[in-house]
Amino acid sequence: MGRIRSLSRSDIPSFVEVASLAYPGMGIFTPEDKQKLIERLEKQTESGAKNLFGAYSGPTLLGGMLLHDFRVNFLSNQLDLGGVGFVCVDLLHKKEKIAKELITYFEQYYREKGTAIAALYPFRPDFYRKMGYGYGSKMNQYRFAPKELPKGASKQNVKRLCEKNKGELHQCYTRFALKNHGMIERSEEDMKRLFQDPKNNIFGVWQEDVCKGYCVFSFENSKADNFISNHILMKEFVWETREALMELCTFIHSQQDQIHQVIWNTQQEAFHHLLIDPRNGSDNLMPHVYHECNASGVGLMYKVLDIRGLFEQTDTMSFGLGSLKVKWCVTDSFANKYHEVLVQFHEGYAAVRDDMEPDVTVSLSISEFSSLIMGAISITSLYRFGLVQLSDDHHLQTLHQIFSALPTPICMTGF
């Protein structure tokens, strides 16, 4: 393959031609559909936070990708995060390792920018795990009748929002993101796009003249021959206070006359405790009498590009209170890199130290390390599954104490 370079505005039509065939499920077939995608990509890349890149052989575009410059809440630290999406390869050049070369370029691009973490949504999890990406939190899809949500005393502070409320919605999202590990920053323009989808219904709850929570949902017909029976598809649900949560739940609860089920995707692991009856209506049982309540899937994957840099940028009290000097030996076979970093954990803080002997050496792959540091899996689970090696197993309990404080990541941003 020849070279990978940034795409100019004039290159976007060629990218759309490749992408439309690489993702036939998007339904980008007509000249009108392609023009809409061209215009969307032109607008997205205007700010400089999103950039298109293409892989060429001479003048021929073989594949491409869209890179995203994000800011993410990493254990209460606001860090840069590199995202990649829209990875596509021309049908004539499949199985020529073009996707691999694109991802290699993506990682090096962000390493050179000093970005310590990368993330992507995988078209095949196994493909990207081999490249060193670790699983993040699972997404859980619940299906339940509106009456299963708790009914509070009031929904009087809930109101329907319109585009003029985008600033208040953005402020609410931002406050929520700053308190939740894994959340990606959004601009006010990002929030404006929620209102531009005609299918979206957006409701917010106000406390003392401040938006303290909101939900975004659309309707879906539940039966082809019954126009008054519908589902609510919950797309986004944010709350800052218990009072805001209860009012929004009461609002959804009150829709039961024409809503058959609420279909709610969430990364909140304890969500089923909120529901009166969490069963999804399938009546399926798993041994020995476990009622099916949700489907779950793996999605967003993370990769730490620079372990030393990540710890150096993490300057808040992010870990548990155990004290231990840990030498990390992490293998990234895809990038042909071997990370060896000594970190001292003390009173919740982590500091890179090269001037002391470690208490324990921890050896694992970059994919498992990435899942561990993002809080998606515990060190104890990695140990039990044989996915991590310790030079001295007696330190496992202290390691667990240090890493058990990590929250699981939440992300509501698609890319």
Domain total of the chain: 3
Do 147 and 280 reside in the same domain of the chain? yes
Question: Domain of 16: which CATH number?
Answer: 3.40.630.30
Q: Is residue 132 part of a domain?
A: no
Same-domain status, 183 and 288: yes
Give how far Cα 217 sits from Cα of 234, 301, 342, 376, Å: 4, 25, 47, 27
Q: pLDDT tens-digit profile of 321-350?
A: 999 999 999 999 999 999 999 999 999 999
What is the 8-class DSSP label of residue 184?
B
Any domain includes 413:
no
In tens, the pLDDT along 381-393 reads: 999 999 999 999 9
Residues 353 and 293 in one domain: no
- Please check whether residues 149 and 292 belong to one and the same domain: yes
Determine the angle formed by the axes of helices 188-196 and 166-179, rounding to 10 degrees.
120
pLDDT score of 226: 81
pLDDT at position 223 is 83
Shared domain for 99 and 152, answered yes or no, is no
Residue 144 has pLDDT above 90, yes or no: yes
The answer to whether residues 183 and 272 belong to one domain is yes
- Model pLDDT for residues 356-379, shown as the tens digit of each residue: 999 999 999 999 999 999 999 999
Cis-peptide, bond into residue 288, ω within 30° of zero: yes
Contact present, 304 and 318 (Cβ < 8 Å): no
Identify whether residues 257 and 332 lie together within a single domain. Answer: no
Pick left, alpha or beta for residue 347 (phi over 0 → left; psi -120 to 50 → alpha; otherwise beta): left
Between the alpha carbon of residue 100 and those of residues 56, 106, 128, 131, 337, the distances in Å are: 14, 10, 10, 8, 16
Query: Using an 8 Å Cβ cutoff, are 341 and 328 in contact?
Result: yes
Q: Give residue 336's domain range.
A: 306-403
Count of other CB atoms within 10 angstroms of residue 193:
12
Boundary (domain end) residue, out of 236, 263, 297: 297
212 and 158 inside one domain:
yes
Least confident of 1-15, 75-89, 146-160, 311-325: 1-15
pLDDT at 2 over 80: no
Per DSSP (E only), the strands in 180-336 are: 201-207, 210-223, 226-239, 259-266, 285-286, 290-291, 294-297, 301-304, 324-332
CA distance 374 to 349: 16
Q: Tell me the two tokens of residue 173.
A: 């999202």
* Residue 350, domain member (yes or no): yes
Q: What is the pLDDT of residue 225?
A: 80
Helices of type H across 264-404: 307-313, 366-373, 379-384, 396-403
Residue 103 confidence class, pLDDT cut points 50, 70, 90: very high
Residue 155 is assigned to a structural domain of this protein: yes
Cβ neighbours, 10 Å, residue 197: 12
**Same-domain status, 184 and 263:** yes
* pLDDT higher than 60, residue 1: no
The shares of helix, strand and coil residues in the chain, as percent rounded to the nearest 5, are: 30, 35, 35
Residues 170 and 224 in one domain: yes
Assess if residue 342 is contained within a domain: yes
Q: What does pLDDT average to over the chain?
A: 95
Average pLDDT value for residue range 41-49: 91
- CA within 13 Å, CB half, 403: 22
What pLDDT sits at residue 228? 81
**Same domain assignment for residues 236 and 320:** no
Q: Examine the domain organization and report whether 145 and 290 are in the same domain.
A: yes
Q: Is residue 128 part of a domain?
A: no
